[in-house]
A = this chain, B = another copy of it.
Amino acid sequence: MDYASAGVDIDLEGSAVASLIGALGRSVRTPGTPGAPVDLPGGFGGLLEFGDHLLAMATDGVGSKLQIASSLNAWGGVGIDCMAMNVNDLLCVGAEPMAFVDYIAVPKPDPEVHAAIGASLAEACRRARVTLAGGETASLPGIVTEVDLSGTALGYMGRNDAITGEHVQAGDVLIGLPASGIHSNGYSLVRRIMEHVGADLSAPAPFDAVVAGRRIERFATQDGETPTLGEVLLNPTQVYVDPVIDLLNHLDAGHLGGRTSVRGLCHVTGGGLSNLLRLNADVGWRIDAPLPVLPEFTWLQETGGVETREMYRTFNMGMGMVLAVDAAHAKGLAAWLAERMPGSAVVGTVVEDEAPSVVHVPTGSTFSHY
């Protein structure tokens, strides 16, 4: 199986988005005024001038992970997924998230489902340290057949504090931060595999999902019991505000070489490891000591007969964020991160060879375009 056969055509999506962007042209907001767009090297958009600051916006949804939540009526994690997908993107330009709004489309409002999503969003706000600044619930029985949840996060940073990946260079060290699970990408393939094997999401996970340092958030079982397959698949996306913002504040205070020690941050989302090429495509990214693969990925691969490279192109495989840092401070940065977020570790280096490429050394998987 692969992602395209599961119904998602990344190239077609790319083409659709390109059509949309092509229609846009320049902003009416001219440089020097609030809201003027800031085009950064590295191709990052979404940054806005605002006096001495930059503002950043990110918008994303939970996607088809919602269908698993819906089938189990288990909504406790989806608000966290929605938040994480957005704030983790903000972190990657160096912005501190400060506010969030949600958009929920339903065929018919259900107060119980809303209360559960609300509780999940409340917990998400705590993890991401943001204010919930509003939201919209739309009843669209002619458009949606079940809950769709998306949101928009707003962040900020100093005028010259953006981190773009443009300064990533050969010799930089890559530090990986552990994922909490599948996060919120690749669920079309996950669901396809579940259908293929007729998996029972309410039954105990058919593999040992308990891994040191990874917490599975329970809605059907208790800590200590074997989690259900559904609980493992729905484990909410890791919010990386802690430790990333605290690290940047620590650097801004003059430690470990200052903020410029972090040359790039990459949220490993749809596209998997190939996301590194979005950060900088003039270098090679060599992952020779990856974080451990979470057991659900191994099980999904075996059960679905998915090729290894396809797994690394679709899923985070256990590493949800990657930092590219100045080699001179890499040891200190890795130690700081490992203390704050156990499981974080040096996973590779930036190299000159064969740019642009990402090479996952243990499996030989190579990516030369996003």
Contact = CB atoms under 8 A, between A and B. Distances in A.
Interface of A: 7-9, 12-13, 15-25, 27-29, 34-37, 45-48, 50-51, 53, 55, 57-61, 63-64, 66-67, 96, 98-99, 101-103, 105, 108-115, 117-119, 121-122, 125-126, 129-148, 150, 152, 154, 156, 191
B135 A20 contact: yes
Contact of A57 (B15, B51, B53, B133): B133
Contact of A37 (B57, B131, B135, B137): B131
A137 B18 CA distance: 11
Contact of A20 (B15, B22, B137): B137
A108 B136 CA distance: 24
24 contacts: A7-B141, A12-B109, A16-B111, A17-B135, A20-B137, A22-B118, A23-B121, A24-B132, A35-B131, A46-B101, A46-B133, A48-B133, A50-B50, A58-B134, A59-B103, A59-B152, A61-B105, A101-B152, A103-B103, A142-B145, A144-B144, A144-B148, A145-B145, A148-B148
A53 B34 CA distance: 11
B121 A34 contact: no
Nearest to A17: B137
A146 B121 CA distance: 27
Instruction: Please provide the 9 A-B residue pairs with the shortest distance between their CB atoms, ordered closest to farther.
Output: A35-B98, A23-B118, A20-B118, A16-B109, A152-B152, A19-B115, A27-B131, A46-B134, A16-B114
Given A98-B35, A115-B22, A125-B24, A64 B152 contact: no
A7 B108 CA distance: 9
- Dominant secondary structure of chain A at its interface with chain B: mixed
A43 B16 CA distance: 40
Nearest to A57: B133
Nearest to A106: B16
